[in-house]
Structures are given as C-alpha cells and as structure tokens.
Structure 1
Amino acid sequence: MRSLFHFRPLVLTALSVALLSACSTSVRIPAPVEDRNPSGRTTTSAPSPSAAPAVEVAQPMPGSENAGKPGFYTVQRGDTLTRIALDNGQGWRDLARWNQLSNPDVIEVGQVLRVSPPGGAVEAPGVVVRPIAQSTTPSSQVTPPKSEPAPSVNQPTANDDGLGFIWPANGVLIAGFDEAKNKGLDIAGKAGDPILAAADGQVVYAGAGLRGYGNLIILKHNNTFLTAYAHNQALLVKEDQKVRKGQKIAEMGKSDADRVKLHFEVRRQGKPVDPAKLLPAR
C-alpha cells in the first residue's frame, strides 16, 4: 500500500490549479470612495466611472462672421497691419482703432479685419472738401468764363480729386510703373536730395517696418488717395503730422535698395496706379 506521501505532490498540484482558477474568475470590486461632508460624518459611496476626456472645440477667429463682406479683409500668412493698411488705402492706426487691436503688431492668420471706416466714409483729417456751388443765374445770363492761362507744370491732372500732385523729387526717372513688377516710379538722385510731399495730406506711417521699402513715409490725402515714399536715408516727419504740398518730408537714400533712389507710389483706394498719369508733364 502506497504511503500518503506519494500522493502529496498530486494533491498540492490540484489545490494550486483550483486556487488559480478561482482567482482568474473572481471579479475585482474597487475600493469604496470616502467623502467627508461638512458635518464631519464620513459617508461611503461607490466610485463613479472614469469621465471621458474633454474634447477641445476650435474657437472661431476674431471677426470671422464678417469674412467675405465688403470692407473686411482676412489676414494671410506674411501680412502686417501696415501692409494691409497700404493695400486698402488706410492708415494702420485707423485699422488698429476700428478693430480694437490692443497690440497692432499681433494679428493672426485667418483673422478678419475691418478695412473701411465703420458707419460710412470720413474724410482724412485736415482735408477740406468744398461743395460745388449751384448757379442761380439763368443760363441766358451766364457770364462767359475768362480765358485761362496756359497750364503750369503743377496744374492738377485728370482724376486726381483736384489734389494737383507734384513730382516728389527732381532726379531722372529710372523705372516706370508696372503693376506686376514695380508698383510705382523709381527716381534717381544723390544721397540727401530732398523728398517732397506730392500733395497736402497727413502722415499715416513713418518707419521701416514694411519689407522691401526701407525707411518709408505714407501720406493720406483723402479717402481716395495715398502716396508712398520709400528707401529714404532720413525721415523728417512723424505719424499724424499734417504736411503741405511741396514740403520736404525726407532725404533720398538707399535703405533696403541696391542704389540711391526714391520709390514713389500712388494708391487709389489701396490699388497702385501709374503716378505718371497723375503727375504734371516734365
């Protein structure tokens, strides 16, 4: 008769298998959560299931409700407020004010900006608009106009709103207008030559923050016209300053240019136009 010791390994093995099976089929119950309420009593409750992770919802860009509407512009990669203002015939300070920008140097791609005056157009400060008086004299009694003198070199040209643009520098014209390649005229000269305001207006930009233009001045003449004067070696006026036609506003230079020259642009409602068509003949 075999001793019980011979069966001991078999018994232990069977017992181990039974215990492992019981462990694998048992359900783990998480420990209860204790909550101590303000009265000091401890209550016990079962833990709630894990909350689902929060899903971030993309916030709309500022002004997105105005995207595509007239008078608004959607910021593109590489834009600056100065560039947007120039391309829309406005001053950057006006854009900052209309859009309540606390930091004009920070704009985001996709942001929609107002680029026209809210509530209707307002004339540029300092620009006087005089209505044309209506004649009450019967047509049969109208006095014939007096003969006019021959036009001077500074006679206003057609479609310039009566501003009477003058040449901003006396140098040789070295590059003409090309809407795709050269949005204005390039006038040669010597470093330090005077740069003149082409018409009465107000300085809406004076600085070097627009790539490709160097030291730049932008004048706003009215709601239609801006003029730009680039590559100067010295700027002699400040933003918001009013200037008169023919006033010296800068000195010619070659900042951000390959040679000494003035790059001169005329913008009609933000669009570059050929200055030669608005300047008197030389």
Structure 2
Amino acid sequence: MANQRQIRSAFGPAWLCAAVLGLLLAGCATPPPGGVPVVDRNQRAPVSEGSYLVRRGDTLSSIAIRFGWDWRALAQHNGISAPYVIHPGQRIVFGNSRRATPAPGRAPVPAPAVKPTEPAVQVATVPDRPPLVTRPPEPQPPATPIKIQPVERSASGWAWPANGAVIGRFSSNGSLNKGIDIAGELGQPVLAASDGTVVYAGSGLRGYGELVIIKHSDTYVSAYGHNRRLLVREGQKVKAGQTIAEMGSTGTDRVKLHFEIRRQGKPVDPQQYLPRR
C-alpha cells in the first residue's frame, strides 16, 4: 500500500484512475494480438524519466499501466522482445537510456578481487569488564491465519464472491452494468472467486470505491468493488473462497458488492461462469 501512496502522490488521482481502468480493460500481462486499443482522454503523458526495479509479481503490462505507458512501447524502449518476460531485480527505464538492466544472474558478474591475507590483530582483554549477555530473541506472535471458506465451484472453476441476492445484472451494452451487483450486510466477507494474484488494491478508480482486482491467468481477471475494508495487498496470491475484503458502500449509495469478470480485457456475464443457485 505504501507503493500505491507514492504513485498516487506523484501522479495524482486522475492518472491513477486511468491506469487502473487500463488494467481492467487490459486483463492480462500480454494483450492478445489484433485487439482494439482503448483511448483514455484523461490519461497524462507517460513518465519520461527515472526507472523502476521489477519486483516479484510484476508484469510488463502492469508496470506499463502504472507509469502511463503502452506496454508495447515500453518493451521496445527497453529492448525487451517476445515473449516479453521480465524478472525480479530487472530495471525498467523510462528516460533516454534504451535498455533495461539485466535481471540478476543473467549477466556475468566479475569475481571480487582477492586481498592479501593480513596478520591477525591481537586484542587485549579487559579483565574487569563483565561479559556480554546475549538475550534470546523474543517469540513472535503467530501470523493471522488466512480465512478460506469451503465454496462450491462451477465446472470452469469459479465460485460466488459473496452470499446475497443479485440486485444488478450484467448488460452487454458497454455504457451499462459491466458485471453484477450482490446485496449484503456491512462488513460481510467478500471472497476470491478463483485462485489468482492480486494486481490492484485501492480506491483510485472513480465509481468503484475500495477495489480489489485479481489476475487469474493471461485470459481472466476479476474485480470486486464498493468494499468497506481491503484485506489483501498487491502481489499477494489468493485462493478461491479466501476472504479478500469486507462488503461496504464506498463509491455507491448502498451496501453491495460489484463483481466483474473480464475475458481478454472484455467484460463478460459473471453468471455464465458462476455455479447455478
């Protein structure tokens, strides 16, 4: 979350809103060839100086969205060719330098110079100094157990993200509902609908409130909006049935969960993937 605060402070809410919307529309690390580009008129110019050190869980697509770049342009700028794989520790540059720093272990590392052995130095002991007493490390409290509820999955592997009546249905018209709305109680558990990795957790996208986005594969992502409190962080791996948030009303007029499934960046009807009730 500290990383999100730094990005939000540096580039402002408008840039972050456009970036996360791009993530929802992009859906996967490597967009499919022949896709129709989506133009966001509110997006600022891409970051044109400095660099970014790749961390575990990053993809070229998520870095490009975060810093306002088209992923293809960022790959070309850094000399990254298909299949566009990046590694933790690799440096992605945005300025005049045209190449990314190779990932650790991919470039030969010169052997350190061997210094001549120096004679050992004798240190006189002080007889009247009491011996140092090393205290054993204090026991750490056990980690909070991850809450995973047993859930029924459909044949395609999806589970309902919350208990409650569906009060808003999917519409294929892009200007209407891009997912479904599920009624519930304030603080009710919101569950991951399938196994995956959290690629966004925050409130930077207007109209979604406190939002979680999970990447399940190079084809599917899911989104969970209007939460009261988020219980996961970016880069965290989650399992189907795991509690990822508490239901709320942020960004809307009543307590509910807004749930979306995107296939290759395009919204699809979640009820076609979820178990029948």
TM-score w.r.t. structure 1 length?
A: 0.53
Give the match for residue 59 of structure 2.
Answer: 94
Query: Measured at CA, do residues 93 and 255 of structure 1 come closer, stay the same or move farther in structure 2, by a change above 3 Å?
Result: farther
Gaps in structure 2 of 5+ consecutive residues = 1-14, 30-56, 86-150
Query: Measured at CA, do residues 186 and 119 of structure 1 come closer, stay the same or move farther in structure 2, by a change above 3 Å?
Result: same
CA distance in 2, matches of 1:81, 1:93: 15
Give the match for residue 173 of structure 1.
Answer: 166
RMSD: 3.3
Question: Which entry has the higher C-alpha Rg, 1 or 2?
Answer: 1
Q: Which runs of 4+ in 1 moved over 2 A?
A: 90-99, 111-118, 153-157
- Map Cα deviations across residues 57-103 of structure 1 (whole Å, 9 max, x no partner): xxxxxxxxxxxxxxxxxxxx99712111210103795356664x8xx
- Does the aligned pair in 1 maintain the 2:28–2:219 contact within 8 Å? no
SS in 2 for 1:230: strand
CA distance in 1, matches of 2:203, 2:17: 15
Identity %: 50
Does 2:215 align with 1:220? Answer: yes
CA distance in 1, matches of 2:186, 2:229: 10
Of 204, 210, 223, the residue aligned with 1:209 is 204
Give the match for residue 179 of structure 2.
Answer: 184
Does 2:274 align with 1:279? Answer: yes
Q: Which amino acid aligns with 2:26?
A: N
- Does the aligned pair in 1 maintain the 2:229–2:248 contact within 8 Å? yes
Of 182, 189, 196, the residue aligned with 2:191 is 196
Give the match for residue 252 of structure 1.
Answer: 247
Give the match for residue 72 of structure 2.
Answer: 114
CA distance in 1, matches of 2:70, 2:237: 30
**Higher normalized contact order (CA 8 Å, seq sep 6+, divided by chain length):** 2
Give the match for residue 154 of structure 2.
Answer: 156
- Does the aligned pair in 2 maintain the 1:173–1:187 contact within 8 Å? yes
Residue-pair matches, total: 167
TM-superposed CA distance for 1:246, in Å, is 0.2
Query: Measured at CA, do residues 95 and 80 of structure 1 come closer, stay the same or move farther in structure 2, by a change above 3 Å?
Result: farther
- Does the aligned pair in 1 maintain the 2:23–2:62 contact within 8 Å? no
TM-score w.r.t. structure 2 length?
A: 0.54
Query: Measured at CA, do residues 79 and 234 of structure 1 come closer, stay the same or move farther in structure 2, by a change above 3 Å?
Result: closer
Query: Measured at CA, do residues 112 and 178 of structure 1 come closer, stay the same or move farther in structure 2, by a change above 3 Å?
Result: same
TM-superposed CA distance for 1:222, in Å, is 0.8
Q: Which amino acid aligns with 1:86?
A: L
Query: Measured at CA, do residues 114 and 211 of structure 1 come closer, stay the same or move farther in structure 2, by a change above 3 Å?
Result: farther
- Does the aligned pair in 2 maintain the 1:98–1:118 contact within 8 Å? no
